[in-house]
Amino acid sequence: MVTQQIKLLQALREGSVNSYFATFNMRIKQAPTRIRELKLQGHEITSTKLPDRSVNWELTQEYIKPITQYEFIGNTAVLKS
């Protein structure tokens, strides 16, 4: 199942997303909440208010989670520094 966050992130990777487009075409009723959640995850998204009272969102930098590496000492996994 594709979540609303994933749908928005995929659309933002292709270009900017308008709040009306997200609500009516993508069927994401709480798009501002999903954008906020993406920002809290570390994605940099700029918001621009438009004269028609809609908002345009643009992904400026995507957060890529660092890979955690472990090494095994005996039967114990230890975080690699």
Say how many domains are in the chain.
Answer: 1
Task: Give residue 20's domain range.
Answer: 4-61
Quote the pTM value.
Answer: 0.75
Tokens of 65: 């989670």
Confidence tier at 73 by pLDDT (50, 70, 90)? confident
pLDDT digits (tens, 9 = 90+) for 17-61: 999 999 999 999 999 999 999 999 999 999 999 999 999 999 998
pLDDT of residue 62: 84
Residue 52 lies in a domain: yes
Whether residue 73 is contained in a domain is answered as no
Look at residue 14 and tell me if it is in a domain: yes
Question: In this predicted structure, what is the pLDDT of residue 26?
Answer: 95
Within 13 Å, how many C-alpha atoms sit on residue 1's CB side?
Answer: 2
